[in-house]
A and B are shown apart, each in its own frame.
Chain A
Amino acid sequence: MTALGWHLSEKEWTEWLRVLLESGIAVIAPVLGTTGTSEFQRVGSAEEAAAPPPSRTAMSPKKFLFPQSEVLFSFDFSGESATLSQPEMERGRQLLVGLRPCDAAGLRRLDEVFLSEPEDPTYSERRQRTVIVSQACTQAGQSCFCTAVGGSPSGREGADLALTKLEGSGDLLLEPVTAGGEELAAPASASWRPITAEDRAQAARQAEAVTSAITREPLPPNAPPILASSFDSPAWAEVADGCIGCGICAYACPSCSCFDITDSGGAACGSRCRSWDSCAFSTFTRHASGHNPRADQPSRYRQRVMHKFSYFPAEHGGEMMCVGCGRCIDLCPAGVDIHHAVLALASGATLRVQARSGVKA
C-alpha cells in the first residue's frame, strides 16, 4: 500500500461522492426512512450519502451482495423450445458507504462462505464490482459486542477504505485498506491533505472512548470448544425459552448466509428464485417424510449459536461467524440475546447470567 490516507473536509468528502455518483457508480448508504429507522439504500445525491444517520441500520447491508430474493433463471416451455434464461446482471460498480466496522466484517464472513470453493457465481460477480467503505463508530449501542468477538469499533476487516469522522472539526480521515479501495480514491486524492500524527492520535482517542463504552463482556477464549461439548446441555432450552422461530435474527444478521430455492409460476413458464432462509424455521430441516432432525425451537436456536460460535470457528481458524453487531438482539421480538446465550452456555449457568443482566426492583 503506497498511500497512508488522506484528511478530507466534509465538503471534500461530499464532493468526492458526487464525482463518483456522476461517474455512474451506484452509491449505497444508510438513509433515515419514513418509519423512523435507517436502512441501506441507493442514494441519489452525495449529500444524502455523506451524512449517514447516527443510528445503526435495522437490517445489515448484506442484501447488496446477497439479495433477499434473486431470480436465478426463468424458464419458458410455452413455445416451440424450452429455454432457461438467466437475468441480466447489473454491470456497474457499487460503493457501499457508512458501514459500521461490524457490518464490513460481516460481509467478510459472507465472502468466506460464498467465495470458498466452489465459488458462488452471482455473489462473486457482485462482490467484484463492490467497494466497501467502513466508518469508525462514534457511539456504541447497548447491544453492541464487537469487542467480544474479536472486532473493534474502529476495525477494518472487510473494508476497502476506512473512514473516521473527527469529532469537533467534522473532518474525515480516509484510509485505503485494499488495493481496490486505493485505486478508487487515488484519482481524487491529489488535492487531499495527508493524515497527520495529530489526526491519528485523535482517531485513536475516539476509538478508545467508543471501545470503553461497550459494556458487554468478551467471550471466554475457549468458548468454541466449550460450546462444542455442550450440545446436550439443558441450558439450550433455557436460553431459547422465548424464541418464537420468526427468523428475524438471521435476516437481520450481516453474516447469515442460508438460503432457500423455490420455483414460481407454472409448468409452462416461471422462474426459480433463491431467497434468504433461517435455521429458526421448523421447515428448514424438515424432511419430505415429516421427520424433523431439529424438532423443537431450542434445537433450532442451538444451531444458530453453534454455527456461529462453534462450527464456523472450527473451520475458520477460530473466527466467529458473529461480528457482534447486536441487530438480532435489538430486533428479536422475544428478547432472546445471543451474547447472553453464548456466555451462559460457556459458563454453564444461564440464570446467573440473567441475574447479572440486572434484575432491578
Chain B
Amino acid sequence: MSATATLLPDLARITGARDETYDVRTLQIELVERDRAESFTWRPGQFAMISVFGFGEAALTITNPPDEEGFIEITFREMGKLTSALRRLSTGQIVGVRGPFGNSFPLDEWGGRDIVFVGGGIGMAALHAPLAAVLRERDRFGEVTVVVGAKSASDLVYRGEFDEWQRAGGARLIRAVDPGGEVDGWDGEVGLLPDVFERLGLSGAETVVVVCGPPVMLDFMLKATSRLGTPPARVITTLENRMKCGLGYCGHCSVGRFMVCRDGPVISGEALATLPKEL
C-alpha cells in the first residue's frame, strides 16, 4: 500500500451473491478499475472496508483466499445500518471497497501441525480464507478439523461447502448447535462450542487452534484450550471491534495500545492476555 492512506473507496461491482442463511449473505465483488483490481492483493485474515454509498462503511473480512484473481468475497450478517443496506443489493450494483487492511494468519508457522478451526456464528466468516488456504495446500499440514457452531441449525453458515471441505481427506467436520437449537433429525453435536470442543478433546500441546466468535465464546475457548494443554501462543483469533477508518487514526478499535486495524485483527491468545480487559 502507498504511504498515504485514503478514505476514498474504489468503486466495485457485485458480481455474485448467495444467501448462506436467512440473515447471512456472501457477495462476490470486483473492483471496477482494472489496474486497481490488479494491485489489490491480500492475505488470509485481512479485511476490507466495504461501503454502501448513503449508508456507510463497515469492516468485513475478505473470505476468499488470495489467488482468485479479480474478485473478493465477503460474508456478513445483517446487523445494522450498513449490513442491512448491503443485504438489499444484488448482482450488478455498485459498492465501495477500501483496503486490504490488517495483519494476517501466520500460516507459515502452522506447517506440519494439526489445525482446528472453531467458528461460532458469523465468526466462521473470518476463518473461511485461512481454511481455504490450508485446504488448498493440504499436504503441508497435519490433521485439519473444522468445528462450525451456531445458535440453531438454520444459523449454520457455509452449509453448501461442508461436503467440499471434507472431500478427499480434507478436513474433519464437526457441526454443533446451542442447546435448544437442534431441529428434528439433527445429527451433529449439541452444546456451546467451547464445551463441545473440550468434550471431544480436540486440541493438544502441539495443535494450532484458530477461533472466531462472539467475545464471550473467545473467553471460554481460551479456558478450554488451556485445560487441554494448548499453549495460548497457539490459540489464534481475530478481533472485530467497531472500526471507522481502518488506518490507525480514528481511535475506535483500540484496546489499550493495540489497534485492531493496525496491529490486528489476528492475534494470539498469548498477546491477548497482555491487553486490558476491554473486549
Contacts and interface: CB of A to CB of B under 8 A. Distances in A.
Query: Within 8 Å by CB, do A and B touch in the complex?
Result: yes
- Give the most central of A120, A232, A284: most B CB within 10 Å: A120
Nearest to A262: B56
Interface string A114-135: 1001111100100000000000
Nearest to A122: B7
B145 interface: no
Interface stretch (A92-100, A186-194, A307-315): A307-315
B245 A259 contact: yes
- Secondary structure class of chain A's binding surface, majority of residues: mixed
Given A263-B55, A291-B214, A311 B256 contact: yes
Interface in B27-50: none
B183 interface: no
A265 B54 contact: yes
Contacts of A265: 54
Nearest to A295: B278
Nearest to B250: A259
A170 B140 CA distance: 78
Contacts, number: 122
B257 A120 contact: no
Contacts of B7: 72-73, 261, 272, 274
Contacts of B56: 261-263, 272
Interface in B221-276: 240-242, 244-245, 247-252, 254-257, 276
Interface string A344-359: 0000000000000000
- Secondary structure class of chain B's binding surface, majority of residues: loop
Contact of A288 (B80, B256, B279): B80
A279 interface: yes
Interface in A162-202: none
Given A72-B8, A258-B250, A311-B256, A263 B94 contact: no
Contacts of A247: none
B53 A260 contact: no
A143 interface: no
Interface in A61-113: 72-73, 75, 77, 82, 84, 86, 113
Contact of A261 (B52, B244, B257, B276): B244
Interface in B80-126: 80, 83, 85, 94, 96
B252 A285 contact: yes
B54 A286 contact: no
Contact of A293 (B9, B244, B257, B278): B278
Contact of B94 (A73, A77, A315): A77
Given A118-B3, A121-B5, A288-B79, A259 B214 contact: no
A322 to B, nearest CB: 15
A335 to B, nearest CB: 25
A111 B80 CA distance: 34
Nearest to B257: A311
A120 B278 contact: no
Contact of B242 (A232, A287, A314): A287
B75 to A, nearest CB: 15
A232 B276 CA distance: 9
A157 interface: no
B132 interface: no
Given A266-B54, A277-B244, A311-B257, 12 more contacts: A82-B94, A117-B3, A118-B2, A118-B4, A257-B249, A259-B244, A267-B53, A272-B53, A274-B7, A284-B242, A289-B214, A293-B279
Interface of B: 1-9, 11, 51-58, 79-80, 83, 85, 94, 96, 214-215, 240-242, 244-245, 247-252, 254-257, 276-279
